[in-house]
Amino acid sequence: MKTQIGQDVVQVGQLLAAGQVVGIPTETVYGLAGNALDPDAVLTIFRVKNRPAFDPLILHTNSIDRLHDYVTEIPPPARQLAEAFWPGPLTLLLPKHERVPDLVTSGLPMVAVRVPNHPLTLALLASLDFPLAAPSANPFGYISPTTAQHVADQLGEQVPYILDGGPATVGLESTIVGFEQGKPVVYRLGGMALDQIEAVVGPVDVRSHSTSNPKAPGMLSSHYAPRVPLTLLPMGSNPEPSLRAGALAFRQPFSGIPAAQQRILSETGNLAEAARNLFAHLRQLDALDLDLIYAETVPSQGLGTAINDRLRRAAVR
């Protein structure tokens, strides 16, 4: 099967309606999408990604109004967040409607839902009479894709079509928020900064790691990892000199490592730019002939908290 890369929303809709899975753009990362109400399509997502069945998927739709078809309740703070940030890099964990297959939620009573902020995918979702299950379009545990070409490089001819929406503008997966006893809980740090969420609903708890049986997508403690071993460095420190190492630095290159084997997240210290560059730079380093990648942490504020979360999990072996 020859994979097409293009912008034909109608063709993609036809493929999805026929039970196939495709690559789609979002503002966070590219997704591997299938009809969320079709268990066979959902099984294909798990198979193509080689994703364990205990790791639930996120359901995507194009408006708050359509949520009632897929969830049984929208608590007031959830509605506040949805109205403030959708479309956007925020996922809400809500009680699932019985029409959503248990396979999507890994048998859990809650379903993760969001409205992505990308014009092509919003147009696609508006044209469909079903939501899309769409985890990141990469082999399970590997670096998330932020361009259509990344998807093609990783999944090859396992998908018939990749909708090309250009580079992801956020570059980190969505922040996932659930509710326990009516209070918001962050299950995954991501492209929506905590201070933005707290400005709407007040203080939140953060519980973003699980070694197995996660309550929400993206909670596994080892994830987003390059094939080359990655070692974390505290911000401002310098690694051991090495001709066989690569480096992912925050603002400026390290001494003792060849310049061609280094990538800078943001020379100006802009955390949004650093988030956009994170996965693409990790991929470039992973494609080099290296023994080790050093990764410098960034300031733990705003999106920096989520960037450091991804780096920590990429370093787990």
Q: Which domain holds residue 189?
A: 4-206
Same domain, 118 and 236: no
The token pair at 317 is 């072996």
State the pTM of this model: 0.90
Same domain, 130 and 24: yes
Q: Output the pLDDT for position 156.
A: 84
Q: Output the pLDDT for position 223.
A: 65
Same domain, 48 and 118: yes
Binding residues for L-threonine: 28, 60, 114, 134, 174
Same domain, 166 and 42: yes
Asked if the structure places residue 104 within a domain, the reply is yes
Please report where in the chains the tokens 């379903």 appear, as a residue: 111
End-to-end CA distance of the chain: 34
Asked if the structure places residue 222 within a domain, the reply is no
Same domain, 285 and 196: no
Asked if the structure places residue 212 within a domain, the reply is no
CATH number, domain of 288, equals 3.40.50.11030
Q: How many domains does the chain have?
A: 2
Asked if the structure places residue 54 within a domain, the reply is yes
Closest by alpha carbon to 313, among 175, 191, 210? 210
**CA–CA gap between residue 291 and residue 299 (Å, rounded):** 27
236: buried, middle or exposed (CB in 10 Å: 19+, 13-18, 0-12)? Answer: exposed
Alpha-carbon dihedral angle through residues 88, 115, 149, 312, given to the nearest 10 degrees: 60
Asked if the structure places residue 219 within a domain, the reply is no
**CA–CA gap between residue 38 and residue 317 (Å, rounded):** 34
Same domain, 114 and 236: no
Binding residues: 28, 51, 60, 114, 134, 136, 144, 174, 188, 224
3-state helix, strand, coil in the chain (%, to 5): 30, 20, 45
Q: Output the pLDDT for position 218.
A: 66
Binding residues for ATP: 51, 136, 144, 188, 224
The DSSP bridge pattern shows strands 31-35 and 110-114 to be: unpaired
Same domain, 162 and 99: yes
Looking at 190, 206, 222, which one is the last position of a domain?
206
Asked if the structure places residue 225 within a domain, the reply is no
Q: Which parts of the chain register pLDDT below 70?
A: 208-215, 218-223, 317
Report in angstroms the alpha-carbon separations of 314 from 16, 98, 305.
32, 35, 14
Q: Alpha helices, DSSP H only, in 90-208?
A: 102-105, 119-127, 148-155, 194-201
